[in-house]
Amino acid sequence: MDANAPASVWLEAARKAMQIEADAVIRASRRLDGNLSCAVELILAHPSKVVVTGLGKSGHVARKIVATLCSTGTPAVFLHAAEASHGDLGLYLPGDPTLMVSKSGNSFELLQLIPFLRELPSPRIGIVGNASSPLAAEMDVVLDASVEREADPDNLAPTASSTVALTLGHALAVALIRARNFSAEDFERYHPGGHLGRSLRLTVREVMHGREEIAWAHPEDSLKQVVIAMTHYPHGAACIIDSAQHLCGLITDGDVRRALQAHDDIRGLRASAVMTVNPATIDPDVRLQEALRLMEDRPSQISVLPVVDRSSGACLGLLRLHDIYRGVRL
């Protein structure tokens, strides 16, 4: 394949690579057995930390597994196998389990750690691509990371093998999540910064636009009055309420545009004729993560949600998708 090949050939090669990797992951999932449970039990029995090590591409995979374990309630550190015998072995406490990641199972730097790990002692878990290798023979538990072939045309680059190794690390982390009953609240504790942490920590009430900040109207108000209110409070929608502050409907910018397209003269239109009746709503004390799912996990994404108190039925304001992503009140 060369630069003069048609783009369709490149696209087909990319799709085939992804299919090879996907098939390899599925086969690895079917091979999972009691060894995974043994690995979970071994880690749970030693509450200090897990030491994860590997070389080359397996080393990169090991670092990602460490990040996933740490963020989901299992303390873990990465050990560079080549640096281990030059002082880095001091990170161990007796009993710390070791997770070794290797495609071949023949890496000298990993094998030379075995006598030290026996002496500590350190229980050994292997994510190994060759179950008959010398390294696999030294493990207390082996997770089979073998693949039929790599995803590149010449079957050389660590592609499918590194993907399978990473997914096995993720599978182990997820099993530990279940074993530890690690909750969304626990996850938030480890992710105080960034969008994910804010969406787990903050509630709708903390970022919504309240009554004094949004456009309001009544069903009998003219569409012109609604447009004036929406122009004054440009948040993309107006809440249509009754005299008791209960939500009757919602008029969005899109609803106004569609009304203008459908009617040559809008002077006689009332809010009730344009509004969406029974729109999706959200309670003010719901976490932003749940609000985000409500707005995005649907056939047609919505960008604004009326906030309604579930107990009283009163409409309290609006939540915009933009506000969730910013995580601040605008």
Each residue of 135-148: pLDDT tens digit?
A: 999 999 999 999 99
Each residue of 42-57: pLDDT tens digit?
A: 999 998 899 999 999 9
What is residue 202's predicted lDDT score, i.e. its pLDDT?
A: 81
What is the three-class DSSP state of 54? strand
189-200 average pLDDT score: 54
Each residue of 100-134: pLDDT tens digit?
A: 999 999 999 999 999 999 998 999 999 999 999 99
Contact indicator for 304, 215 with CB cutoff of 8 Å: no
Q: In the chain, pLDDT over 70 holds for what percent of residues?
A: 91
What is the three-class DSSP state of 162? helix
pLDDT at position 31 over 90:
yes
Domain locations along the chain? 7-182, 204-326
Side chain identity at residue 168, one-letter code:
L
pLDDT classification of 199: cutoffs 50, 70, 90: low
**When comparing pLDDT for 325 and 161, which is higher?**
161
* Structure-token pair, residue 77: 């550190």
Other C-beta atoms lying within 10 Å of the C-beta of residue 270:
17
Side chain identity at residue 192, one-letter code:
P
- Do 7-182 and 204-326 come out as alike in CATH topology? no
User: Regarding the domain delimited by 204-326, which CATH topology (the fold level of the hierarchy) does it fall under?
Assistant: CBS-domain (3.10.580)
What is residue 301's predicted lDDT score, i.e. its pLDDT?
A: 84
What is residue 328's predicted lDDT score, i.e. its pLDDT?
A: 41
Superfamily of domain 7-182: Glucose-6-phosphate isomerase like protein; domain 1 (3.40.50.10490)
Query: What's the distance, CA 179 to chain centroid?
Result: 20
Beta-carbon-side half-sphere exposure of residue 299 (alpha carbons within 13 Å) = 0
pLDDT at position 40 over 80:
yes
Each residue of 280-310: pLDDT tens digit?
A: 999 999 988 888 888 888 888 888 999 999 8
